[in-house]
Each structure stands twice: as C-alpha cells, then as structure tokens.
Chain A
Amino acid sequence: MKRMHFFVIAGVVLSALAVALSRPLIAAEPPETSAAAVDSKSGDGALFIAFVPVLRHPRCMNCHSKGDYPRQGDDSHRHTMLVKRGPAGFGVTAVKCSTCHQDHNLWDAHLPPGAPEWHLPSPSMPMIWEGLTDAQLCQSIKDPKQNKGRNIDQLVEHLTEDKLVAWGWNPGPRRNAVPIPHDDFSAKVKQWQAAGAPCPAR
C-alpha cells in the first residue's frame, strides 16, 4: 500500500514537473508574435517585403501603373491601340477589355492573354502602385478606401485566390510569370496576415 502511495505521489510530482517544464516551451511561441509586433512598431516590414516582388512585377504592375490606361510587356509599354481604362475599368464603348480578351489565355504570345473579369481598377479607385515606396504600397493595399473596401482577410483572399490575380502565375506562352511560386507567395502573405499585416516604416 505504501509502495502504491509512493508511485501515485511520484507520478503526480513527475506530471507536475513535466507541466512546469513544458510551459517555457509553450510560452516560447508568444515571443515570436511579440517580435512581429516589434517589427510592426519598428517598421521593419520584412514580412511584407518578402512578397512585394510579386506586386511589383509587370504582370501585376501593368494594370496598377500611372495613367488612364493599361500597359503591356516586361518593359511596361503603353497598351497598343491606345486602349483606355474607361468609366468602370473595363475599357470604353467599342474597345472594352472583353472585346479582345477572353476568360483564358490563347495559343500564342501575340494573342490577347485572358482570365475571368479581365479589367483595370476603376478610375474612382485606380490602385496605382507605380512610384510608391514599399511602406506606401503596403499601406495602400491595406487601406479599405484604396483597396475596394477590403479588410485584411478579404485582401489576403484577393491576393491568394482571385482568378485574375492568379493569372500572374499562368500568363500564357512566352510571358514571364511573377517571381515567387504561388504556394510560397500565399504562405508569405498569410504569415504577414498572422503577424498583424505589419508595414515597413518607409
């Protein structure tokens, strides 16, 4: 009976010890979050900068550039035929995006590429990223007044799941895709979201 008590007491002590020892391990996670918060405060913005090369790539920037028109190619020249943004971002009268662009890519590089809802941002919220610093770009895409009213969850969904955005990874023959694989990009965006979507200081 005494031996039984010993085992029970020893078990309780060991369990308590195990719980006590495990606490620092569990508690080791919050400092990472704290570190991210520090990043956010200090404006390090590394989590944003990790995926910003995608946003700055011509596949994205050609529709997020200055001017009332889209651009083309890796040199971001003005869209041929002087195509314009139009009143809703879908072109003008007889020269709408869907006049030539389909909801899918065509068979050659010199044919119009395509994806569902092919369009530019609307003129009332043109989402022009050209000329912005990383900090300004980060704040811009987070600002519901500049990002079509999206909260962070909706922004992340747009960046990682929208079919027109996803075209950047599948731009059709002889066009360069955005630089980070889609899975990696999505993971980086979600990591940034989990840390509170911190922006660089400048």
Chain B
Amino acid sequence: MVGFSVNGKRVNLDVDPSTPLLWVIREQLNLTGTKYGCGMAQCGACTVHVNGEAVRSCVTPVSRAEGKTITTIEGLSPDLSNPLQRAWLEEDVPQCGYCQSGQLMSAAVLLREKPKPSDEDIDEAMTGNICRCGTYPRIRRAIHRAAEMAAKGGAR
C-alpha cells in the first residue's frame, strides 16, 4: 500500500511501489491532465508537484510519494482561477496543448520562488519543458502576465 494526498484528497492504493507515479495518477486516479511524453524525464510533459516541487512523474516511483502531497494540473486551482491559468487563456498559449500541463506546473514553481521573474529566470525554470509547437514566446509572455496578476492580487 502507498498512501499520499492528491489535490487535497487522501488516497491509499494497492500498487507496486516501483510503479511510475504518472501511471498511478492517470490510470488509478483517472487524473489524465498530466501527460506521458518521453517516459525518460527528457520532455517535462509529466511534471507534477511533490510537496510543492516540480517532479517528472514518469520516472518517479510511486513509493517516493508515500506520505507526501501531490498536486497535478487538476489541483492547480479548482476553477481555472490561478493567475497562470488565466494568463495562459488570455495569451492563448497552447497550440496542440500536449505539453501545457507540464509547462504550467513548472511555471507555478517558478512564480512561487520568484514572484517577479526575469526572462532569464523563466528560461532557467522552463528549460526542461519542451514544446514541439514552439509556443515558447507565448509561454514567456504568459508567465510575465501571471506574475503581474498575482502582484495585483489577481488570484481569485
């Protein structure tokens, strides 16, 4: 048995402790917003938060989640009110969209640690999240916009 919290809900699961966290999130918990990209921690599509830190769930055994707090894209906010989600919509960031939940989860860690990031901070934080549609300029604009919203008390 492995027990942890997902998006505020406590779960106990009878799974092999070496099962990738991503598999558990998608197949046991049916939280399919988190995507499988490369399966090797090379692309960032599977990024979730473990105790608030960005983690590639595709290579993370579920045993690492034991007793911890997991946040997926579904838990970033209950109603798309997170400044990042609002900025993403306003900047119309996604193209195909496949990488975007991972991009948002990484951006959320960035803004928590650096509420007013520079372009360089954004590049450093987002370097592990690949977008094959090349939405990087919009991602950067949206992160700046979200930072401004948060600074103005924009988190509803």
* B129 CB contacts on chain A under 8 angstroms: 94
A-contacting residues, B121-145, CB 8 Å: 121, 124-129
A83: min CB distance to chain B, Å: 7
The verdict on B80 contacting chain A, using a C-beta distance below 8 Å, is no
For B39, give the chain A residue with the smallest CB separation.
A111
B31: min CB distance to chain A, Å: 20
* A18 CB contacts on chain B under 8 angstroms: none
A119: min CB distance to chain B, Å: 13
For A112, give the chain B residue with the smallest CB separation.
B41
Task: A100 to B128: give the CA distance in the assembly, Å.
Answer: 10
The verdict on A23 contacting chain B, using a C-beta distance below 8 Å, is no
The stretch among B6-14, B66-74, B84-92, B105-113 that forms the contact with chain A is B105-113
| Number of A positions contacting B (CB below 8 A) | 20
Dominant SS among interface residues on chain B: mixed
Task: A25 to B28: give the CA distance in the assembly, Å.
Answer: 73
The stretch among B49-57, B93-101, B147-155 that forms the contact with chain A is B49-57
Task: A99 to B41: give the CA distance in the assembly, Å.
Answer: 9
Quick one: given A102-B59, A111-B40, are A95 and B64 in contact (CB under 8 Å)? no
* A2 CB contacts on chain B under 8 angstroms: none
Contact of B113 among A81, A93, A98, A108 (CB under 8 A): A93
The answer to whether B128 and A106 have CB atoms under 8 Å apart is: no
Contact of A111 among B41, B53, B107, B127 (CB under 8 A): B41
- Chain B proximity mask over A46-88: 1 for CB below 8 Å, otherwise 0: 0000000000000000000000000000000000111110000
Most chain B CB within a 10 A radius of its CB, from A81, A96, A103 = A81
The verdict on A92 contacting chain B, using a C-beta distance below 8 Å, is yes
The answer to whether B124 and A99 have CB atoms under 8 Å apart is: no
* B125 CB contacts on chain A under 8 angstroms: 92-95
Quick one: given A94-B107, A110-B40, A111-B41, are A82 and B127 in contact (CB under 8 Å)? yes
For B129, give the chain A residue with the smallest CB separation.
A94
* A96 CB contacts on chain B under 8 angstroms: 53-54
- Chain B interface (Cβ within 8 Å of chain A)? 40-42, 47, 53-56, 59-61, 64, 105-107, 109-110, 113-114, 121, 124-129
- Chain A interface (Cβ within 8 Å of chain B)? 80-84, 92-96, 98-100, 102-103, 106, 108, 110-112
